[in-house]
Amino acid sequence: MITRRQISQAYSIISPHLRRTPVIGLTEFSALPLTLKLELFQHTGSFKPRGAFANLLGADLPAAGVAAASGGNHGAAVAYAAANLGIRARIFVPRSTPPAKVALIRSYGADVIQEGETYAHAFELCRTYTEEVGARLVHAYDSEPTISGQGTLALELEEQAPDLDTVLVAVGGGGLIAGIAAWYSSGLKIVSVEPEDCPTLERALAAGQPVDVSPSGTAADSLGASRIGAIPFALAKSYVDRALLVTEDAIGRAQIWLWQNLRLVTEPGGATAFAAISSGRYAPGPQERVGVVICGANTDPAAFARLVSRLTEAETASPSPRALTG
């Protein structure tokens, strides 16, 4: 199991390469202010550089460099970290990866191989490549360095909002929630939030073990793992209090609320945890202090414009924002 000491050690190594992302307080959804951790402001537009740098700085790397399979955000993070450290990188993405994310990965100088229909297919191609050339595989979510790196988000959040009772976290393969759960352990309540079409953790917890799912929907490019990782599952089984599912509509409306009220442009996966709050799927208690991780910004501008057009202003109207920076 990942420990707080491991996460603290990872932070001491990777923090010079990270942004310490801010928090903001909202009073629209709960009796006590809701704390948003704005990790969409991290380098490359998601939390993923934390785990990427933890992998690349934590071990000797082969001359063949590194390789990763990704739906987009992890690949961009590995490419970014590799470029900053002068390391070769090859990123494997499925054909369904949005063009904006492919372009982002390429902008950092990595080789991009876009093959396969799903993340699982891309991962198998990546693993074959690393075995053939000797490159190091940087796993998106099921490795100790990755999880320790992602856990540094919770280290920051605890310093920025030390009185939280609950943290809501979106889940794909489980690396982020595993790192957050490892940091907080049983110190507060951890709630996972997934799209109904990508229920990897919810299904695994119900079955008592990781199971295969068929991810689909607009959030699948960032939350589209077909199976929760083994290490994340072990941590989630010990420390995740509840596993919630939210609809595609709730995620879209959460994206629009964040834009209309805070001028934050998020990708569907980045707004998924907030969707549990904005849709009423999770209702904070009267004395409950809740934190929500806004974990990604890498949406396609055209797709976001279509979303705004489809969900009208009247349908998404909400009270005037009363945001308090923290």
The pLDDT value recorded for residue 322 is 39
Collapsed DSSP state (helix, strand, coil) of residue 292? strand
The pLDDT value recorded for residue 325 is 34
Asked whether this chain's domains 4-47+143-325 and 49-137 adopt the same fold, the reply is: yes
The CATH code of domain 4-47+143-325 reads 3.40.50.1100
Q: Could you give the CA distance from residue 91 to residue 195 in angstroms, rounded to a whole number?
A: 25
| Residues 104-153 pLDDT 10s | 999 999 999 999 888 889 999 999 999 999 999 999 999 999 999 999 99
Q: Could you give the CA distance from residue 34 to residue 188 in angstroms, rounded to a whole number?
A: 15
| Residues 8-46 pLDDT 10s | 999 999 999 999 999 999 999 999 999 999 999 999 999
The pLDDT value recorded for residue 312 is 55
Query: Cβ atoms within 10 A of the Cβ of 162, count?
Result: 8
The residue extents of the domains of the chain are: 4-47+143-325, 49-137
Is the pTM of the predicted complex or chain greater than 0.85?
A: yes
Q: Could you give the CA distance from residue 231 to residue 127 in angstroms, rounded to a whole number?
A: 19
If you ran DSSP here, which 8-state letter would residue 279 be given?
T
The pLDDT value recorded for residue 316 is 43
What would be the CATH architecture of the domain defined by 49-137?
3-Layer(aba) Sandwich (3.40)
| Residues 254-312 pLDDT 10s | 999 999 999 999 999 999 999 999 999 999 999 999 999 999 999 988 888 888 887 75
How high does pLDDT run on average in the chain? 92
| Residues 310-323 pLDDT 10s | 775 545 445 444 33
Residue 225 has pLDDT above 90, yes or no: no
Q: What are phi and psi of 145, to 5 degrees?
A: -60, -40
Residue 103 has pLDDT above 50, yes or no: yes
Q: Could you give the CA distance from residue 266 to residue 294 in angstroms, rounded to a whole number?
A: 8
**Taking phi first (over 0 means left), then psi (-120 to 50 degrees means alpha), and beta for anything else, what does residue 130 get?**
alpha
Collapsed DSSP state (helix, strand, coil) of residue 293? strand
Q: Could you give the CA distance from residue 209 to residue 221 in angstroms, rounded to a whole number?
A: 24
The pLDDT value recorded for residue 313 is 54
Confidence class of residue 60 from pLDDT cuts 50, 70 and 90?
Answer: confident
Residue 66 has pLDDT above 90, yes or no: yes
The pLDDT value recorded for residue 314 is 43
Residue 218 has pLDDT above 90, yes or no: no
